[in-house]
Amino acid sequence: MVTTAGSAQTSGTILHLRRQGFRVVATDIDPAAPGLYLADRGYLVPSGNNDAYLPQIRRICQDEGAIAIVPLVDEELVPVAELAFDDIAVLLPRPDFVTTCLDKYVLMRRLAAAGIGVPATRLASEWDGALEPPLVVKPRAGRGSRGVTVCASRDELLGLLADGPYAPNDLIVQERIGGPEYTVSVVVWRDGEVQAVVSKEVILKRGVTKYAVTRRNERVAAVCRAVQHELRADGPFNVQLALDGDGEPRIFEINPRFSSTAPLTIASGVDEVTGLLRQATFGGPRLADDWEEGLVMVRRWSDEFLQEAEFTGHGISPAATDAVAAPAPQIAQVAR
């Protein structure tokens, strides 16, 4: 099972896994999510923060005989971890690492305590003016750059804190690191040994990374390995960092899952998704840290064509309509 069929990387991940010989079931809250129509079967499900989400995912896994799940959105990561007790391989880091990363303030404190470079960070409720603008203000919990603002002045920051939609304890204020930004795939599984570190310099980012190029940087690789050593993810994770004026990496976020740039990691020579899936389910071989530098990802639209009957009925289960958003019953009704 691959979740979040509408996200940037999911369609490519589904098609890649099918080419590798896997039968793939996809899920999403939106019947228009393109990955639903590229999988062997698609299901509408509630959002990951809905109490009905886990029971429904569990039921689909049982009905479809799923042996593994690849969750790709933050809201689903904590509940999906429970499926490990059903003997389903969950391709995530260990639960304590996941929960640490999902709270950006807690993560920054953990990394700093371990001697790993991070931007100076405060809760908005603790900001006393000591950090000089420009400053990055963002929710403690969030994804895809949602709610992230760069404040160029003290007055702009004070106005945001006074009039913004978040409570001060739910926001962090962070030093802005102005050097090149990297997004890094760290490939590791339950034995704790880092199999590969694929670093990609971000060329263009709009919510998710649009353009990026694989770029070797030994300091970046060393810092990412230190995260695994100190925090023991023991599962795939994505490090987002920027280089400071001395060229030293400063981590500003960690996604405790495969990132939206996983397709670039795969194209460069490290098939982190298939490789870890085979290790988790069939005892497959370790991956090698051998990848092509200077490979550019250009993210674009791709058109797919199918018959109308397939669009309205392709695997969207009527049974999924008991806990989905308003549009879903209409689609499922047409599917009948």
The domain at 120-175 falls in which architecture? Answer: 2-Layer Sandwich (3.30)
Q: CATH 3.40.50.20 in the chain: give the residue spans.
A: 10-90+305-335
- Whether residue 117 contacts residue 249, with contact meaning beta carbons closer than 8 Å, is answered with yes
Mean pLDDT of the chain: 89
Residue 2 has pLDDT above 60, yes or no: yes
Mean pLDDT to the nearest integer, 1-14: 92
Mean pLDDT of 249-276: 97
pLDDT digits (tens, 9 = 90+) for 312-326: 554 454 444 333 332
| pLDDT attached to residue 81 | 96
| Residue 1: predicted pLDDT | 98
Within the chain, all domains assigned CATH 3.30.470.20 are found at 97-101+178-298
Domain topology for 10-90+305-335: Rossmann fold (3.40.50)
| pTM (predicted TM-score) | 0.89
> pLDDT value at position 312?
57
Q: What is the CATH number of domain 97-101+178-298?
A: 3.30.470.20
Average pLDDT over residues 119-125: 92
The model's pLDDT over 188-217, given as tens digits with 9 standing for 90+, comes to 999 999 999 999 999 998 878 999 999 999
Please tell me the predicted confidence (pLDDT) of residue 252. 96
Q: List, by residue range, all CATH 3.30.1490.20 domains of the chain.
A: 120-175
Degrees, nearest 5: CA angle 148-123-244? 65
